[in-house]
């Protein structure tokens, strides 16, 4: 049925233009559209129409979205394909057009896709949609809160849940973006099309492909994890911003009562969302930002938090948002013997990992009571590099200066926690350049140089904050308490860890400056060796981790990129 004849939708001129643009871009002729539906409408559409696989051996037409007892006054609960409860990094590509091939940072989780194969695949996906006379949801949003760089982002897909997610996660109204049609990115999300690797050039039946030349994202097959809708655009922005001479960052950001800005770099599970949701500070955002000549601004208009083992007392903002309308809970099952329709969201068992360790929650920034106006802020005074050390040997906090900042930024060490990526079932040590290597579409030295320039220009301090383990390796020691982590972070914000304010000692293995005292934190835990009963075991683990840092530095060729070794 042509879009203009679709029941229940008054196709105004703007909507007709959208349909015409999609026909011109893709060749979509025999599909119908539901364009810019409200959150309530998308809520009901998801429950009625989103169908796919939700269990390993289950059918492809199972219900994927459910209400709770709160109905539209509460969250939508959504279940991904069981093989895609995290980002499908091994199935993520960019089209290797000759014009961009030399500038992209190619790697195992951002591989080259043959242009001819891509063109053939895209035609087959469009033919599939035309043949089935697909009904597609369209949501018009932006990526970026500042019109200086904001990109119009058009989501087009089969699932209303994904359209609702785009509505939650991205700004809707950014005034002053010039030449929108020439900047727009379009994501075509088609879970019902399953690839043939031999024919299509994919690694499996699914693929996430970015066409940086033509501003198209293509998501096909069992890749229906909501995070794909946002991380695809983050990867795009990581290509675009450096070309403008600005810095794109995988970080959270907030502003203190005195107007002091801060950014917190870190991989999933290290505390970006938790630590940025501070009732004493204004939130700019929890995950993706730009640092431009105007200051810090959010790419997004929402948060995408991990829910597993959520401590509601420690994280009251996220806990309260669980019961707010239009939010999305991902992969949390109902209590045994109960239907989700009968559940109060606050009664859900957030320790239940029977679906995945990577349970998630999407909610608008407006759910936070302390949001910075326009999701923007000043140039930051404090840079925080977050890590979750599963070896239990890094200090809870270290003060970084000069070359140490660049070294730890490009190293990006943490423990990759279970479930954040497909195939990761238990924590393991990982090095991820710029604390987000899979999304960094240009070479890491590009981002390091931009960071160094902006820190120098704005006289920003930097700390390495360990939110991982103390007193032993993962499974033996205990995770550093969030109370102590927040006290360390507050001390850094207040300048209590600055030169002249506190005494330091140098870590003999990592060459890190460790403060000897910090308000609200037991001094004995500041040197991690003190927390181990077996000092020889600590020394052995510290040497092991140091050697891993050195090997990563050598393997990645950071020296040739102008980064100086720090250990």
Query: pLDDT digits over 67-125, tens only?
Result: 999 999 999 999 999 999 999 999 999 999 999 999 999 999 999 999 999 999 999 99
pLDDT digits (tens, 9 = 90+) for 360-419: 999 999 888 889 999 999 999 999 999 999 889 999 999 999 889 999 999 999 876 545
| Catalytic site residue from 53, 87, 139, 484 | 87
Interior angle at CA 30, CA 28 and CA 35, nearest 5: 70
- Nearest partner of 511 among 546, 540, 537, 485, judged by Cα: 546
Known catalytic membership, residue 199: no
Q: What is the largest CA-CA distance in the chain?
A: 75
How many helices (H) and strands (E) the chain has is answered by: 12, 30
- Nearest partner of 269 among 400, 427, 396, 391, judged by Cα: 427
**Letter string b/e over residues 132-152, b meaning 16 or more CB atoms within 10 A of that residue's CB:** eebbbbbbbbbbbbbeebbbb
Q: Are 289 and 238 in contact (CB under 8 A)?
A: no
Is residue 8 exposed (0-12), middle (13-18) or buried (19+ Cβ within 10 Å)? exposed
Residue 32 pLDDT more than 90? yes
Q: Are 557 and 565 in contact (CB under 8 A)?
A: no
Known catalytic membership, residue 456: no
Interior angle at CA 19, CA 17 and CA 22, nearest 5: 110
- For residue 136, list its beta bridge partners: 33
Which pLDDT does position 317 carry in this prediction? Answer: 84
Q: At 330, is the secondary structure helix, strand, or coil?
A: strand
- For residue 253, list its beta bridge partners: 263, 285
**Stretch 43-69: mean pLDDT:** 97
Q: Residue 4: pLDDT band by 50, 70, 90 thresholds?
A: very low
**Letter string b/e over residues 510-534, b meaning 16 or more CB atoms within 10 A of that residue's CB:** bebbbbeebeebeeebbebeebbee
Q: At 216, is the secondary structure helix, strand, or coil?
A: strand
pLDDT digits (tens, 9 = 90+) for 218-256: 999 999 999 999 999 999 999 999 999 999 999 999 999
d(CA 312, CA 327): 17
* Residue-averaged pLDDT of the chain: 93
Retrieve residue 321's tokens: 């948002």
Instruction: Look at the alpha carbons of 191, 302, 241, 552 in this order and tell me if their dihedral is positive or negative.
Output: negative
Known catalytic membership, residue 289: no
Strands 413-416 and 428-431, sheet pairing: antiparallel
Is residue 204 exposed (0-12), middle (13-18) or buried (19+ Cβ within 10 Å)? middle
Alpha helices in 216-270 (DSSP H): 227-243
Which pLDDT does position 276 carry in this prediction? Answer: 85
Known catalytic membership, residue 268: yes
- Superfamily classification of domain 8-52+89-243: Phosphoenolpyruvate Carboxykinase, domain 1 (3.40.449.10)
Q: Residue 9: pLDDT band by 50, 70, 90 thresholds?
A: very low
Lowest mean pLDDT among 8-17, 509-518, 542-551: 8-17
**Stretch 488-514: mean pLDDT:** 96
| Catalytic site residue from 68, 268, 414, 445 | 268
Q: At 548, is the secondary structure helix, strand, or coil?
A: helix
| Catalytic site residue from 34, 139, 240, 250 | 250
* Whole-Å CA distances, 490 to 305, 405, 462, 518: 22, 20, 13, 10
| Catalytic site residue from 252, 273, 414, 432 | 273
Q: Does the 247-301+372-561 domain belong in CATH 3.30.470.30?
A: no
| Catalytic site residue from 53, 231, 240, 513 | 231
| Catalytic site residue from 272, 281, 289, 376 | 272
Known catalytic membership, residue 550: no
Known catalytic membership, residue 420: no
Known catalytic membership, residue 287: yes
Known catalytic membership, residue 306: no
Q: At 421, is the secondary structure helix, strand, or coil?
A: strand
Give residue limits of the domains in the chain. Answer: 8-52+89-243, 247-301+372-561
- Nearest partner of 144 among 111, 170, 182, judged by Cα: 170
Q: Are 427 and 417 in contact (CB under 8 A)?
A: yes
| Catalytic site residue from 224, 287, 301, 352 | 287
- For residue 414, list its beta bridge partners: 430
């Amino acid at each position: 049925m042509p879009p203009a004849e679709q029941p229940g939708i008054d196709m105004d001129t703007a909507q007709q233009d959208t349909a015409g643009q999609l026909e011109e871009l893709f060749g979509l002729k025999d599909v119908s559209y539901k364009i810019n539906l409200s959150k309530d409408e998308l809520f009901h559409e998801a429950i009625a129409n989103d169908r796919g696989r939700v269990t390993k051996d289950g059918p492809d037409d199972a219900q994927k979205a459910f209400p709770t007892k709160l109905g539209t006054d509460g969250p939508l609960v959504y279940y991904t394909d069981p093989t895609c409860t995290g980002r499908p990094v091994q199935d993520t590509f960019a089209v290797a057009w000759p014009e961009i091939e030399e500038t992209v940072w190619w790697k195992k989780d951002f591989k080259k896709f043959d242009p001819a194969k891509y063109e053939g695949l895209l035609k087959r996906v469009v033919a599939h949609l035309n043949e089935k006379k697909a009904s597609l949801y369209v949501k018009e949003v932006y990526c970026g809160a500042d019109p200086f760089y904001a990109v119009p982002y058009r989501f087009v897909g089969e699932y209303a849940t994904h359209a609702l997610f785009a509505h939650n996660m991205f700004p809707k109204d950014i005034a002053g973006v010039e030449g929108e049609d020439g900047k727009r990115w379009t994501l075509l999300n088609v879970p019902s099309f399953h690839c043939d690797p031999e024919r299509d050039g994919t690694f499996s039946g699914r693929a996430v492909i970015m066409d940086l030349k033509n501003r198209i994202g293509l998501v096909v097959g069992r890749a229906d994890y909501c995070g794909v809708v946002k991380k695809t655009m983050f990867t795009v922005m990581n290509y675009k911003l450096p070309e403008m001479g600005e810095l794109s960052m995988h970080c959270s950001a907030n502003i203190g009562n005195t107007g002091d800005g801060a950014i917190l770099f870190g991989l999933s599970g290290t505390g970006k969302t938790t630590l940025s949701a501070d009732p004493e500070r204004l939130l700019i955002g929890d995950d993706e930002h730009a640092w431009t000549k105007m200051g810090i601004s959010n790419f997004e208009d929402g948060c995408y938090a991990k829910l597993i083992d959520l401590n509601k007392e420690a994280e009251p903002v996220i806990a309260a948002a669980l019961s707010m309308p239009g939010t999305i809970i991902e992969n949390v099952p109902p209590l045994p013997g109960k239907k989700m329709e009968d559940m109060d969201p606050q009664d859900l068992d957030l320790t239940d990992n029977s679906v995945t360790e990577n349970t998630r929650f999407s909610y608008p920034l407006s759910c936070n009571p302390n949001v910075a106006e326009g999701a923007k802020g000043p140039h930051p005074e404090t840079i925080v590099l977050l890590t979750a050390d599963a070896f239990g040997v890094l200090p809870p906090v270290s003060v970084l200066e000069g070359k140490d900042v660049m070294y730890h930024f490009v190293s990006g060490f943490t423990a990759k926690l279970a479930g954040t990526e497909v195939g990761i079932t238990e924590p393991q040590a990982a090095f991820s350049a710029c604390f987000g290597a899979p999304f960094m579409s240009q070479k890491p030295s590009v981002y390091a140089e931009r960071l160094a320039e902006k820190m120098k220009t704005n006289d920003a301090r930097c700390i390495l904050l360990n939110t991982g383990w103390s007193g032993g390796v993962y499974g033996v020691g205990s995770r550093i308490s969030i109370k102590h982590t927040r006290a360390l972070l507050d001390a850094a914000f207040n300048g209590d860890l600055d030169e002249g304010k506190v005494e330091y000692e140098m870590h003999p293995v990592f060459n890190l400056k460790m403060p000897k005292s910090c308000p609200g934190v037991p001094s004995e835990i500041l040197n991690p060796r003190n927390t181990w009963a077996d000092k020889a075991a600590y020394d052995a683990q510290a040497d092991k981790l140091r050697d891993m840092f050195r090997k990563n530095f050598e393997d990645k060729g950071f020296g040739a990129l102008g980064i100086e070794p720090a250990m």
